[in-house]
Amino acid sequence: MAQIIERKSKDGKISYLIRVSNGYDLTGKQKKQSMTWIPPEELTPAKIKKALSAAALKFEEQVAAGAVQDGNIRFYQFAEKFMKEYASKNLKRKTYSEYENRLERINQAIGNIRMCDLKTGHINSFYANMAEDGIRKGGKLHAKADISEMLKAQKLTKTAFSEKSGCCIHAVRAAMAGGNVDRATAEKIASALGKKVSDLFAPCDDKPATLSSTSVRTYHATLSSILSKAVKWGVIPFNPAANAEIPKVRHIETSHLDEADAKRLLELLQGEQMNYRAAVTFDLLSGLRRAELLGLRWTDIDFDTDTITIRQTSNYLPKVGVYTDTPKNETSARRIKLAHSLFLLLGEYRAWQNEQRDKCGDLWQDKDGRVFTSLFGAPIFPDTVTGWFKSFIRKHNFPDVHFHSLRHTYASLMIADGTPLVVVSRRLGHAQVSTTSNIYAHVIQSADEKAAQISDKFADSFLSIPQKKQA
């Protein structure tokens, strides 16, 4: 028989503790399982009594059937179990790494709370704390000094410096190219060069110390996913994150280039090194994600039909290095027809790449026929192309955009040209058309306003009084 205890919080809200016997342990001590039941506000006292009895009976049956595991396990212990038994086998490497990083902060806040005692209030407090000033971890840094010259002065190669600093070669290359690195990497590089971090690096932005609402929601998604699995595995009867107060996301317009700046970008790229010129031009005129662009192989390019097929992505993780993975989702694995002029560019670039291969000889590092590679044929470290693009943008006084803005520019130009949204969504590889609509709402609105002006072309045909031109 379940034991039911009524509890009343400081603010007067009523909840019920349902406790059920679950046999005895090896010492002869009775084991008990418990859950908290909170009645819906709209129920009358009579209906609360009836619903409470039903909840107690259901919980008692679950415990008897072994469907409820030990709720006394602490959150951090269950999170470890979740990561080992589920996440490591079902999540992409990048997603798994993101879960690991978020769990550091989550465990600091609620890790020691027993699963059976974890309440929505604990989670609400955690989210509120993340929005407080000072909670945001130190962001990325970029080199403000010429690290390449410093290595030359010390007669160090990239490989030798990588070993001396304890940083992977990709991180060293990123720092030298002006790409973003984390603070731990910056500290290792500065220490190896005998300098202070502040002498070599500067923050990448002036973001406030608080976490954005979008960041808080990513923590909510991770926490809710873990707790949902706890419900499915019978550790807790319900997900306390389900009713948590999550912040609303403020819509931010995507940064992109207008048509005039896009044309100027393409013209200025003509004078740049072929590998960067080809990669940036191709990305602007195809709208690929960076990982999709760098994952392209020559076998994915069909010169006869002017099409490309997205089959893999190229990514980077500190503990893994550069690695390939499947596309982001099912719709991201797609076949796209592109302008013939792009394939003429690829043909020119391929001839340049073949020359590079001949120069390198046995030092050429390409193993899977990758389209965009380093000068030695190796897969490109993602932040290398991002860092190069950032320097190029600053040098030529373009608006403050980033590499992903090339994708936004491609989408915006299609929408402005009247391309149906479903076509734009498919070409971008979005899972739903609504995703495209939400991201590019401001562009769609501008195109809609422009379309509304079409009727003015026929004004003279249906207005009886000629319209005076505005002074």
Q: Tens digit of pLDDT for each residue in 275-308?
A: 999 999 999 999 999 999 999 999 999 999 999 9
Model pLDDT, residue 465: 56
pLDDT at 62 over 90: no
Model pLDDT, residue 186: 87
pLDDT category of residue 357 using cuts at 50, 70 and 90: very high
Longest Cα–Cα distance in the chain? 99
Report the C-alpha gap between 313 and 155 in whole angstroms. Answer: 36
Across the chain, what does the average pLDDT equal?
87
Phi-psi region of 28 (alpha: psi -120 to 50; beta: other; left: phi over 0): left
Give the Cα-Cα-Cα angle 6, 7, 11 (nearest 5 degrees). Answer: 140
pLDDT category of residue 319 using cuts at 50, 70 and 90: confident
**Is the pLDDT higher at 206 or at 324?**
324
What the block records as the tokens of 437 is 């609509």
Q: Tens digit of pLDDT for each residue in 192-243?
A: 898 888 888 887 765 555 678 888 999 999 999 999 999 988 888 889 999 9
Report the C-alpha gap between 196 and 380 in whole angstroms. Answer: 29
Model pLDDT, residue 291: 96
CA torsion 215→218→223→227, rounded to 10°? 150
Average pLDDT over residues 366-391: 92
Model pLDDT, residue 134: 45
Average pLDDT over residues 21-28: 72
Length of the chain: 471
pLDDT at 418 over 60: yes
pLDDT at 77 over 70: yes
What the block records as the tokens of 195 is 């300098």
The region of weakest confidence among 197-201, 259-263, 408-412 is 197-201
Model pLDDT, residue 266: 96
- 3-class DSSP string for the chain: CCEEEEEECCCCCEEEEEEEEEEECCCCCEEEEEEEECCCCCCCHHHHHHHHHHHHHHHHHHHHCCCCCCCCCEHHHHHHHHHHHHHHHHCCHHHHHHHHHHHHHHHHHHCCCEHHHCCHHHHHHHHHHHCCCCCCCCCCEEECCCHHHHHHHCCCCHHHHHHHHCCCHHHHHHHHCCCCECHHHHHHHHHHHCCCHHHHEEECCCCCCCCCHHHHHHHHHHHHHHHHHHHHCCCCCCCCCCCCCCCCCCCCCCCCCCHHHHHHHHHHHCCCCHHHHHHHHHHHCCCCCHHHHHHCEHHHEECCCCEEECCCEEEEECCCEEEEECCCCHHHCCEEECCHHHHHHHHHHHHHHHHHHHHHHHHCCCCCCECCECCCCCECCHHHHHHHHHHHHHHCCCCCCCCCHHHHHHHHHHHHCCCCHHHHHHHHCCCCHHHHHHHCHHHHHHHHHHHHHHHHHHHHHHCCCCCCCCC
Report the C-alpha gap between 192 and 150 in whole angstroms. Answer: 11
Model pLDDT, residue 370: 96
Average pLDDT over residues 367-371: 94
Nearest to 110 by CA among 125, 97, 99, 100: 125
What the block records as the tokens of 452 is 């509304």
Average pLDDT over residues 386-399: 93
What the block records as the tokens of 202 is 């500067």
The region of weakest confidence among 57-61, 99-103, 266-270, 429-433 is 57-61
Cα dihedral sign for 345, 346, 347, 348?
positive
pLDDT category of residue 163 using cuts at 50, 70 and 90: confident
pLDDT at 6 over 50: yes
Model pLDDT, residue 429: 94
Report the C-alpha gap between 207 and 182 in whole angstroms. Answer: 15
The region of weakest confidence among 38-42, 47-51, 186-190, 268-272 is 38-42
Model pLDDT, residue 17: 87
pLDDT at 22 over 90: no
Nearest to 298 by CA among 360, 386, 357, 382: 357
pLDDT category of residue 139 using cuts at 50, 70 and 90: low
Report the C-alpha gap between 96 and 45 in whole angstroms. Answer: 46
> 336 forms bridges with which residues in the sheet?
308
Between the CA of residue 326 and those of 12, 101, 311, what are the distances in Å? 52, 22, 7
